[in-house]
A and B are shown apart, each in its own frame.
Chain A
């Protein structure tokens, strides 16, 4: 069967679109913005560092820390951003 979703009653469309769909879109938007923002901040710090220190092409950050940061420490805020539901299924 090639459908993306299957529902039992037509009125579930309302819930699906307006609650889950909207929250999914917003969450995706938040996560994307967050990740890009983080990237920019890291890059800007590096930029300022290079600018002020006579344009030396040296990494400001300890390379291993950066690797650990991207892999380990940043999965958690994403899950927190998305996983946090102050109002799981009520008051739609």
Chain B
């Protein structure tokens, strides 16, 4: 779809941003509820009873005594459903009637417009604290720096602020005094999908010869909140096409395991009821119309089947949901689905994420190593002195080791996406979407490399070598971290010398491919740090020639603005820049475990609940965590599956069925298991193991494992992730 300025779109999209999450409307309310309720055996049976009572020959007692309870039960359900729907309607109304300053072409001004009248192609002025009404492309910010912060907790549950940027060319357009409404542009956006972390589009403004690519960092999805910064946004998706609505439609209804069991029991009771009434009829001796007697007895004995059981159980579940919400010992717990409270008591498998769930997600910088030198926490003061004295010597006289150490410090303070901010009371704090990076920059500051200011295109850093003067670095390219690429790169021009330098940091397995020499040192050092349970990041750099950069830039622009540019194509071009790099060092950051984890895990073990941990960390880190949290007892051993060979995998799976150890399996081996189709045998043979560590797992693999455990293993499965929690069967 192409969006032109002035609200024109090709193909024409007249739908507005009207939200309607109601399940029923006035006409469909009664029929849908009745159909849903009668799909349960209970209600169907009693409905049949009522209908039978209409036939005079079968009448026992008064008709109303059969209709009464049924109507009562159905009435209660209808009231509950109506109440839920009404709450949805009120929430929709609140969002629909919120006002936003929108540009109206008719009057040429920005006027207040309700959210429900927004259309694709509108330009909205968003200010701090407002909820974003529709999926927006960030055109330009009102301040010249070009970035804003969003709070995405309604969308994905993450509480840290996300940084987003405006489109470069449009930002310069606005900064030079032009009004955004005079901008003529042509934006090409893809079809609506439900993928929150994917967006590839492009925008071309009049007067520019080439289109600019739009990525995830230029978007603001609906129902996120603007944390700081005001900006102009272009409405790209409205109503049902927004990311949040596309994800909401795929919610399915879950019932606790009890409901199925009760349904089965009621069928058995029905059979018993038939049996008893048949017995009575038989005693009466089969005269004419013996079946009439049979049905009469059936009606009389209908109390065997508990009609109001479901209503009573709903009351029980509501009481427990209320109790969970109000319990003072587990403050802040929210029960979103009252149906599942009783499943909590029947869990067999607990699949847990590691970062943020088992750990506190607060990083402490512990160790740093350059391969030749290593500094632990106690030696940091010594490190500071070394750097200080080393930087007093200029140029080539510098010892090689000290030079490497210096470069490592530079990479810590320059290769990141951290911005120093000031909160309301003027206190300085570091803002980033990754607590790892904050720990690294904090450490660099302690060593004397202080980040003064960071703008979209420039960084200002104070270094020990230059005393109090501030060095400026221009950011030419910034490749942010992603779980697919597993690295983060930044290309800078040092304003003092005019040279170009490219810093890269990432997982050691990725960095070892990029360095010229010492590839094995990278892995060895990272493993050493990982054995102590630290999270490792490898750093490398290289100086880039101007000519090399201009040639590469042309290629990059051509690829990113091509119509069918995929992430792999972009990655291939970026990798071309990352050749022949020089390894500098590895950082080790500790992620503290949450308090009382050992006791919790021990209680879970005693209750025969199997705890399986899925993490993206290395094998050594995972093993360390297993020992530290109590997942592995002193008497148990590790059983490792690190080999990708098919026969080895199969033999190991058959071995596992008989053993009782802690399994450690790597993500690539897991991928191979799925590839060979062995997942059923794998999960059925490991389902007796108390603890499993799945290492180097990607987020899609984690979802895969949860699904497989649900289908293959018997028992209730519970999955815990970043500050939220799921319950599945």
Q: Give per-residue flags for A1-29: 1 if the beta carbon is below 8 A from chain B beta carbons, else 0.
A: 11111111111111111101111111110
Residues of A23-60 contacting chain B, CB below 8 A? 23-28, 31-32, 35-36, 38-40, 42-43, 46-47, 50-51, 55, 57-59
**Alpha-carbon distance between A83 and B329 when the two chains are bound, in angstroms:** 19
Q: Is the CB of A9 within 8 A of B594?
A: yes
Residues of B286-325 contacting chain A, CB below 8 A? 293, 296-297, 300-301, 303-309, 312-313, 315-317, 319-320, 323-324
Other-chain residue from B300, B308, B315 in contact with A50 (beta carbon distance below 8 A): B300
Task: State whether the Cβ of B394 lies closer than 8 Å to any Cβ in chain A.
Answer: no
With A10-B358, A47-B280 in contact, is A78–B316 under 8 Å at CB?
yes
Q: Is the CB of B68 within 8 A of A67?
A: yes
Other-chain residue from A5, A51, A63 in contact with B336 (beta carbon distance below 8 A): A5
Task: State whether the Cβ of B264 lies closer than 8 Å to any Cβ in chain A.
Answer: no
Closest to B332 in A: A8
A-B contact count (CB 8 A): 218
Q: Is the CB of B347 within 8 A of A17?
A: yes
Task: State whether the Cβ of B260 lies closer than 8 Å to any Cβ in chain A.
Answer: no
With A9-B595, A35-B312, A40-B304 in contact, is A15–B65 under 8 Å at CB?
no
**Alpha-carbon distance between A5 and B597 when the two chains are bound, in angstroms:** 19
Question: Which residues on B sit within 8 Å (CB–CB) of A92?
Answer: 329
Q: Is the CB of B60 within 8 A of A55?
A: no
Q: Is the CB of B315 within 8 A of A78?
A: yes
With A4-B337, A8-B333 in contact, is A57–B300 under 8 Å at CB?
yes
Closest to B598 in A: A11
Task: State whether the Cβ of A89 lies closer than 8 Å to any Cβ in chain B.
Answer: yes
Closest to A65 in B: B65
With A39-B303, A70-B308 in contact, is A11–B344 under 8 Å at CB?
no
**Alpha-carbon distance between A75 and B156 when the two chains are bound, in angstroms:** 40
Other-chain residue from B304, B312, B335, B358 in contact with A78 (beta carbon distance below 8 A): B312
Other-chain residue from B254, B304, B309, B345 in contact with A24 (beta carbon distance below 8 A): B345
**Alpha-carbon distance between A33 and B331 when the two chains are bound, in angstroms:** 33
Q: Is the CB of A82 within 8 A of B725?
A: no
With A51-B280, A83-B319 in contact, is A11–B599 under 8 Å at CB?
yes
**Alpha-carbon distance between A7 and B597 when the two chains are bound, in angstroms:** 14
Q: Give per-residue flags for B329-359: 1 if the beta carbon is below 8 A from chain A beta carbons, else 0.
A: 1111111110011111111001010000110
Question: Which residues on B sit within 8 Å (CB–CB) of A66?
Answer: 65, 303
Task: State whether the Cβ of B723 lies closer than 8 Å to any Cβ in chain A.
Answer: yes
Closest to A10 in B: B594
With A11-B596, A11-B600, A57-B297 in contact, is A67–B69 under 8 Å at CB?
yes
Question: Which residues on B sit within 8 Å (CB–CB) of A22?
Answer: 344-345
Question: Which residues on B sit within 8 Å (CB–CB) of A32?
Answer: 258, 262, 306, 309, 313
Closest chain B CB from A47 CB (angstroms)? 6
Closest chain B CB from A44 CB (angstroms)? 9
**Alpha-carbon distance between A51 and B276 when the two chains are bound, in angstroms:** 11
**Alpha-carbon distance between A59 and B269 when the two chains are bound, in angstroms:** 20
**Alpha-carbon distance between A6 and B280 when the two chains are bound, in angstroms:** 54
With A6-B334, A63-B65 in contact, is A31–B280 under 8 Å at CB?
no
**Alpha-carbon distance between A2 and B128 when the two chains are bound, in angstroms:** 27
Chain B interface mostly helix, strand, loop or mixed?
helix
Question: Which residues on A sit within 8 Å (CB–CB) of B258?
Answer: 25, 28, 32
Closest chain A CB from B455 CB (angstroms)? 34
Q: Which of B303, B350, B721 has the most CB of A within 10 A?
A: B303
Q: Is the CB of B157 within 8 A of A12?
A: no
Q: Is the CB of B340 within 8 A of A4?
A: yes
Other-chain residue from A2, A35, A64, A79 in contact with B726 (beta carbon distance below 8 A): A2
Task: State whether the Cβ of B727 lies closer than 8 Å to any Cβ in chain A.
Answer: yes
Task: State whether the Cβ of B607 lies closer than 8 Å to any Cβ in chain A.
Answer: yes
Closest chain A CB from B64 CB (angstroms)? 8
Question: Which residues on A sit within 8 Å (CB–CB) of B320?
Answer: 20, 23-24, 27, 82
**Alpha-carbon distance between A43 and B345 when the two chains are bound, in angstroms:** 32
With A9-B595, A17-B609 in contact, is A71–B69 under 8 Å at CB?
yes
Closest chain A CB from B277 CB (angstroms)? 9
Other-chain residue from A20, A31, A35, A71 in contact with B341 (beta carbon distance below 8 A): A20
With A21-B347, A71-B72 in contact, is A28–B342 under 8 Å at CB?
yes
Closest chain B CB from A69 CB (angstroms)? 10
Question: Which residues on A sit within 8 Å (CB–CB) of B319?
Answer: 79, 82-83
Question: Which residues on A sit within 8 Å (CB–CB) of B61?
Answer: 59, 63
Q: Is the CB of B60 within 8 A of A35?
A: no
**Alpha-carbon distance between A79 and B284 when the two chains are bound, in angstroms:** 42
Question: Which residues on A sit within 8 Å (CB–CB) of B604?
Answer: 13-14, 17
Closest to B716 in A: A21
Q: Is the CB of B344 within 8 A of A35?
A: no
Task: State whether the Cβ of B327 lies closer than 8 Å to any Cβ in chain A.
Answer: yes
With A2-B251, A6-B725, A39-B305 in contact, is A59–B300 under 8 Å at CB?
yes
Closest chain B CB from A80 CB (angstroms)? 11
Q: Which of A13, A14, A23 has the most CB of B within 10 A?
A: A13
Other-chain residue from B265, B345, B595 in contact with A17 (beta carbon distance below 8 A): B345
Question: Which residues on A sit within 8 Å (CB–CB) of B313?
Answer: 28, 31-32
Question: Which residues on A sit within 8 Å (CB–CB) of B595?
Answer: 9, 11
Task: State whether the Cβ of B62 lies closer than 8 Å to any Cβ in chain A.
Answer: yes
Task: State whether the Cβ of B328 lies closer than 8 Å to any Cβ in chain A.
Answer: yes
Closest chain A CB from B718 CB (angstroms)? 8
Q: Is the CB of A35 within 8 A of B306?
A: yes
Closest chain B CB from A75 CB (angstroms)? 7
Q: Is the CB of A10 within 8 A of B303?
A: no
Residues of B90-147 contacting chain A, CB below 8 A? none
Q: Which of B336, B337, B344, B596 has the most CB of A within 10 A?
A: B344
Task: State whether the Cβ of B37 lies closer than 8 Å to any Cβ in chain A.
Answer: no
Between-chain CB contacts (< 8 Å), 9 pairs? A1-B336, A6-B336, A7-B333, A16-B333, A22-B345, A24-B345, A26-B345, A27-B316, A70-B308
Q: Which residues of A contact B (CB under 8 A)?
A: 1-18, 20-28, 31-32, 35-36, 38-40, 42-43, 46-47, 50-51, 55, 57-59, 63-64, 66-67, 70-71, 74-75, 78-79, 82-83, 89, 92
Since A43-B273, A82-B316 are in contact, a sample of 10 more A-B pairs with Cβ atoms closer than 8 Å, ordered by chain A residue number, is A7-B332, A10-B597, A17-B607, A18-B603, A27-B320, A39-B304, A46-B301, A47-B280, A55-B283, A82-B315
Q: Which 8 A-B pairs have the closest CB atoms?
A: A21-B344, A25-B345, A21-B345, A63-B61, A63-B65, A57-B296, A3-B724, A4-B337
